[in-house]
């Protein structure tokens, strides 16, 4: 059986959950469905969620991931939670700027700053 991708690492900090994407590329529809399932299972475990998505390993992602992030953000905000993205590569950050998603998402340089922002 093939590996389920994208691989994520979930760490529970004092006041937030940090999900780190392990794979360099999140492009395929199957990968995005797996990512959605992974993130939904994290959200389903908590009521008041403070979530940090760490993109430190990601070099490429499809536009479908942006749609997934928007749906995730809506779900978190409906539950009065908080979402911060961090460690986004310059190339991917440029896509966020062009699509004006920098106005939608809180984006930090690294996990430590993201956690501080959520505190």
Q: How far apart are CA 116 and CA 96, in angstroms?
A: 22
Of residues 36, 107, 97, 99, the one with CA closest to residue 63: 99
| Model confidence at 2: pLDDT above 50 | no
Q: What is the pLDDT of residues 69-84, one digit of tens each?
A: 999 999 999 999 999 9
Is the distance from CB of 13 to CB of 51 less than 8 angstroms? no
- pLDDT value at residue 112: 96
pTM of the prediction? 0.91
Whether residue 72 is contained in a domain is answered as: yes
Q: Work out the angle at residue 18's Cα, subtended by the Cα atoms of residues 40 and 46, and round it to the nearest 5 degrees.
A: 45
Whether residue 93 is contained in a domain is answered as: yes
Dihedral over alpha carbons 101, 50, 29, 56 (to 10 degrees): 70
Domain with residue 13: its CATH number is: 3.30.750.24
Q: What is the pLDDT of residues 20-52, one digit of tens each?
A: 999 999 888 888 998 999 899 888 887 789 999
Whether residue 104 is contained in a domain is answered as: yes
Whether residue 51 is contained in a domain is answered as: yes
Whether residue 1 is contained in a domain is answered as: no
| Model confidence at 5: pLDDT above 60 | no
Range of the domain at 98: 8-118
Domain count, the chain: 1
């Amino acid at each position: 059986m093939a590996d389920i991708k994208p691989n994520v690492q979930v760490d529970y900090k004092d006041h937030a959950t940090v999900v780190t994407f392990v794979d360099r590329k999140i492009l395929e529809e199957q990968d995005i469905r797996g990512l959605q399932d992974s993130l939904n299972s994290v959200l389903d475990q908590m009521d008041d969620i403070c979530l940090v998505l760490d993109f430190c390993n990601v070099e490429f992602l499809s536009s479908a991931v942006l749609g997934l992030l928007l749906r995730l953000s809506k779900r978190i905000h409906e539950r009065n939670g908080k979402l911060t993205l961090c460690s986004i590569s310059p190339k991917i950050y440029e896509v966020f700027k062009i699509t004006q998603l920098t106005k939608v998402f809180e984006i930090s340089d690294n996990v430590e700053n993201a956690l501080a922002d959520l505190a």
